[in-house]
Structure 1
């Protein structure tokens, strides 16, 4: 029996990325926690992002269909201020930093992103937006360290920065034992369509 080869796929999401200075502020705040909890799976600082829509595994041929409408959407949205603030956990295992700033503008952009994706016929789990930046994950049975770190940085407030680019990101998640790595497939500046 001949098996048909599967088309290549890519794991995709659409996100905002804090600038280096904002990430470095939070990274300094996390320095002692990183040293004290090396068993946590810490996300690489260069991979920190705020997911607006997680699309999952897509056929690679789908990605080009998203480029032009996402570029147009980005051009129609002005940059808006955000700041990394506070922390918490999901299910006691995922450590995250929260956000402050113009969260209404971010929600409008996320709604636009999701509308674009649906208009291109891409099926994805349209989960409610929970604005956050994932920092680390605990292994089963190691949740107390995550909760303690979240309490320790609960009062963190970073500098305000402008969200200026919309990113279409690919990852290697689920492909072997190597750590998750993210890469920009493409990114578009916000507000460049306004006269």
Structure 2
């Protein structure tokens, strides 16, 4: 079981993105994430105690402003196809949640939503075909602590705890 913090896109954004992804070519070796598992990763904690991590997150996220964000543009990490996340407050929320901290190799925080994983390089046509995708803007009213468990049927995700974000104007 691995733990991470995330923001969940609203239903309208998930439906819009599912429609866009549904029109992409199905290429051998590409394992697409299920829409119900889509999330914007804030920080990854790895194998950790859920109760302790939730206690660590509570004071860091308390009072954090709710970011106004959108999904747009596509890119790749090693064997990962993702959509970029832009907007006011998402980087600050990621930093508050511990992005760039120990456990993720000290990489700079890049908000993203993973769409697919591959065994080899991501086919270059996929990020090109998604380059123009832009979701509606939404306000993320909460961050969540999630756990992921790999099994025979793929990775399963579950929300461990929800952290409301401040709706006060920025």
Which TM-score band applies after superposition, normalised by the shorter structure? 0.7 to 0.9
Higher Rg:
1
Residue pair 2:31, 2:116 contacting (<8 A) in 1 also: yes
Pair 1:47-2:47 in alignment: no
Deviation sequence 1:4-28 (CA, Å, 0-9, x none): xxxxxx3111111111111111111
In structure 2, the partner of 1:180 is 155
TM-score by length of 1: 0.76
Deviation sequence 1:1-55 (CA, Å, 0-9, x none): xxxxxxxxx3111111111111111111111216x33642111111111111111
1:38 to 1:32, Cα distance in 2 relative to 1, 3 A: farther
Shift of 1:112: 1.7
Residue pair 1:13, 1:55 contacting (<8 A) in 2 also: yes
Residue pair 1:164, 1:190 contacting (<8 A) in 2 also: yes
C-alpha separation between the residues in 1 aligned to 2:47 and 2:13?
30
Residue pair 2:3, 2:148 contacting (<8 A) in 1 also: yes
Which structure features the higher share of helix residues?
A: 1
Deviation sequence 1:149-171 (CA, Å, 0-9, x none): 21011011110000111110001
Which of 6, 9, 16 aligns to 1:18? It is 9
Which of 82, 95, 100 aligns to 2:86? It is 100
The 5-angstrom pairing of residues 128-147 of structure 1 reads 128-140=108-120, 143-144=122-123, 147=124
Q: Secondary structure at the match of 2:126?
A: helix
Which structure features the higher share of strand residues?
A: 2
Residue pair 1:48, 1:134 contacting (<8 A) in 2 also: yes
In structure 2, the partner of 1:189 is 164
In structure 2, the partner of 1:75 is 62
Q: Secondary structure at the match of 2:72?
A: strand
Q: How many residues align?
A: 167
- What residue ranges of structure 1 are gaps of 5+ in the alignment? 1-9
Q: Secondary structure at the match of 2:97?
A: helix
TM-score by length of 2: 0.86
Which of 149, 162, 166 aligns to 2:143? It is 166
- What residue ranges of structure 2 are gaps of 5+ in the alignment? none
CA RMSD of aligned residues (A): 2.4
Q: Secondary structure at the match of 1:77?
A: coil
C-alpha separation between the residues in 2 aligned to 1:39 and 1:69?
38
